[in-house]
A and B are shown apart, each in its own frame.
Chain A
Amino acid sequence: MVDGTEVSGGRMSVTVQSLPGAIPKGSLVETNLAGRLRLATDERSWVKALLITSTLVFLTLVLFVPLAAIFAEALRKGVAVYFASFTDAHALSAIRLTLLVAIICVPLNLVFGLAASWAIAKFQFPGKSMLITLIDLPFAVSPVISGLIFVLLFGLRGWLGPWLDSYHIQIIFAVPGVILATLFVTFPFVAREVIPLMQEQGSDEELAAVSLGASGWQTFWRVTLPNVKWALLYGVILCNARAMGEFGAVNVVSGHVRGKTNTLPLHVEILYNEYNFAAAFAVASLLALLALITLALKSAVEWRVRREFEQALEPPT
């Protein structure tokens, strides 16, 4: 801070000195300016305190208290009841389905997100901006609509439903429907993280690699992928969190068959509606825990990125 004042003060005096005679009491101007600068930093400290306090109060009200409430409610009837909530057959099947959905959706969206980012960042083609807009579509529409799209497509009174039914293929009100709906809702996450980074990096490094004789795959594995790996991982983490937590779209296509098409968020709602509050909050705490793990992973990724960046900046010794 002292450093900064000195530097800016120095600059001011330079400006004043370069205009000799224009302002006779140059030193007065200088003091005034320096005083104002000091005032600005003083102001910043109490503004800072105010901002921090209000942020903390807000976070406490909307984040920490509800989060604590979830765990308090979950543990109200004791640890035994808490853990019994997870060993219930329907809870286990909900956990299993949620993991299955995530294991299928996340890799698919990883591949899709990479392909889309690659196409958008490295190539020029007509309709590119349209494609970027379309990738954002699942963010823009309400999840309920996302679910209804699949009912319209695959419902028995929908477009493809009757034809699929003649081959005994069941999409909605079954696991494929749950997976499709989740896939739809989560597909922007990876692409959204990777596209800006790839665009910023441009294709110079790839050009260099190709000119040195690297094949397409070599370029991809050794140049493109390492450049975006942390953004990619970040997208995967977010995608995974949403895939496991999605309620709206899945709610529409699930059919709510217990032990078959209920995911964890749907299971929470069912338990709550059955007056089974302790179990509902226990399962909810599992989802909250998942969110916390996601946040921890996200911070770890950010920390790694920053460290790598700093290492890259350090002069070689």
Chain B
Amino acid sequence: MNPMEKSLGSLLLLAFAATMGCNAQSSVTSSSASVGSSPASVAKASASKPDGGAKPTVHLLNVSYDPTRELYAEFNKEFAKHWQANHGQEIVIDQSHGGSGAQARSVIDGLKADVVTLAIAYDIDQIAELTKGMPTNWQERLPNNSSPYRSTVVFLVRTGNPKGIKDWNDLVKPGIEVITSNPKTSGAGRLAYMAGWGFALQANNNDEAKAKEYISALYKNVPVLDSGARGSTTTFVQRGIGDVLLAWENEALLAIKELGKEKVEMVVPSMSILAEPPVAVVDKYAEANGTTEVAKAYVEYLYTPAGQKIAAKHYYRPTKPEDVDPAVLKQFPELKLFTVKDVFSSWKDANDKHFKEGGVFDSIYAPQPK
């Protein structure tokens, strides 16, 4: 009995000491770290002992989608500085990233986001509808349909473009492997599908039967359907599967920067879809957390020159290009962009017709009945 008690005791003691050690270390790092990215626990500690007249630290949770990690890592620091300077209050912004649809689902299930910054408006529509936590006309509350930055869908191919992929009609050629993510769960996947559909309609005088033929041939060339945009990028780049990746423009530019031009290069098709990733305050949760004011300021700050510059730096097309250095704008190639409204009239219509259970996507991707 004794040796066991001893060993159990020392195990616990060890674990305890380890935690204490971490605590001590983390408070050391945080005192030297900048305001924005300090961990929650440190903020908790500072909130529990506010010094005199200073306002208590405010916490903000931004639930976002996959490719915005780097963008918000920088933007949060910038906004925290701005808020500290203007309101004398420390702010800690927590980030959560994942597939846009999955993230919306989490917010609906109770992840209390003060702010959501997702890939497509439909996901925020779902939050508004199912949580009743924000008005259904949320998109009218901020300029440009609540999209402070834009993007589009482009192609990423292996360097030298060995398969000679130039435009959408090259994707349906036999023997071409196309990597894209699941349009049911991923914003990028959905936009890629919609861009392909839009191209097929324009190429065939709005003949829907032809468009369906095209999209069906396209997805026959897809060997793996990941659930999120980053998953697809990893499949294409790390695992080396496929000839072409249908990617967010920002994701493609980031991949080229991270992995080098000797591995992948971007191909700009003749036309594509205008992606308008929206941002919104989730009123219900922000009110409950007492963060309405700072949450509003946060999303509005994305539209300021500072916000626009950071967006452009992280490969998002700014909605106010005049605020951004023209040299940075050069990285965005010119191409014909059509909107969701042009082709599908609305996100809801697109969802009902194409992505719902038994919609067009199911009919072309589900295994053919024999």
Contacts and interface: CB of A to CB of B under 8 A. Distances in A.
Interface of A: 87, 89-90, 92-93, 95-96, 99-100, 102-103, 107, 151, 154-158, 161, 165, 168, 170, 172-173, 221-222, 225-226, 229-230, 232-233, 236, 255-260, 270, 272-275
A221 B25 CA distance: 39
A258 B96 contact: yes
A295 to B, nearest CB: 16
Interface stretch (B80-88, B105-113, B178-186): B105-113
Contacts of B15: 99, 102-103
B283 interface: no
A76 to B, nearest CB: 15
Given A89-B42, A99-B15, 17 more contacts: A87-B29, A89-B29, A89-B39, A92-B26, A96-B22, A99-B22, A103-B16, A107-B12, A157-B110, A173-B106, A173-B109, A173-B110, A221-B1, A233-B8, A255-B96, A273-B66, A273-B234
B207 interface: no
Q: Name the prevailing secondary structure of the B interface residues.
A: helix
A93 B39 contact: yes
Interface in B1-33: 1, 4, 7-8, 11-12, 15-16, 18-19, 22-23, 25-26, 29-30, 33
User: Taking each of B37, B110, B259, which has the highest tally of chain A beta carbons within 10 Å of its own beta carbon?
Assistant: B110
Contacts of A225: 1, 4
Given A93-B26, A100-B19, A221-B1, A173 B112 contact: yes
B26 A89 contact: yes
B323 interface: no
A306 B108 CA distance: 54
Contact of A90 (B39, B70, B254): B39
B98 A256 contact: yes
Contact of B25 (A87, A90, A272): A87
30 contacts: A87-B29, A90-B37, A92-B29, A92-B39, A96-B41, A99-B18, A99-B22, A100-B19, A156-B110, A157-B130, A165-B110, A170-B110, A172-B110, A222-B1, A230-B4, A256-B98, A257-B61, A258-B39, A258-B94, A258-B95, A258-B96, A259-B37, A259-B38, A259-B39, A259-B41, A259-B94, A260-B94, A270-B97, A273-B69, A274-B69
* Chain B interface bracket (under 10, 10 to 19, 20 to 34, 35 or more): 35 or more
A168 to B, nearest CB: 8
Contacts, number: 115
A179 B246 CA distance: 38
B203 interface: no
Contacts of A103: 12, 15-16, 19
B354 interface: no
B140 interface: no
A96 B15 CA distance: 10
B7 A255 contact: no
B258 A275 contact: yes
A165 B284 CA distance: 13
B97 A96 contact: no
Given A99-B22, A273-B234, A256 B96 contact: yes
Q: Name the prevailing secondary structure of the A interface residues.
A: helix
Contacts of A157: 108-110, 130
Contact of B109 (A151, A236, A259, A270): A151
B40 A260 contact: yes
B317 interface: no
A274 B70 contact: yes
B158 interface: no
A118 to B, nearest CB: 16
B112 A229 contact: no
Contacts of B230: 273
Contacts of A232: 4
A161 B22 contact: no
Contacts of A87: 25, 29
Contact of A233 (B7, B30, B38, B70): B7
A230 B18 CA distance: 24
Nearest to A225: B1
A89 B33 contact: yes
B46 interface: no
Interface in B114-153: 130-131
B110 A96 contact: no
Contacts of A107: 12
B133 to A, nearest CB: 10
A95 B33 CA distance: 18
B2 to A, nearest CB: 9
Complex A-B, nearest 8 residue pairs according to Cβ-Cβ distance, in ascending order: A259-B39, A156-B110, A155-B109, A229-B4, A173-B111, A93-B39, A275-B258, A92-B26
A155 B41 CA distance: 24
A233 B288 CA distance: 45
Nearest to A256: B96
A158 B94 contact: no
A202 B321 CA distance: 79
B75 to A, nearest CB: 14
A270 B288 CA distance: 29
A258 B130 CA distance: 26
A90 B33 CA distance: 12
Nearest to B258: A275
A270 B106 CA distance: 17
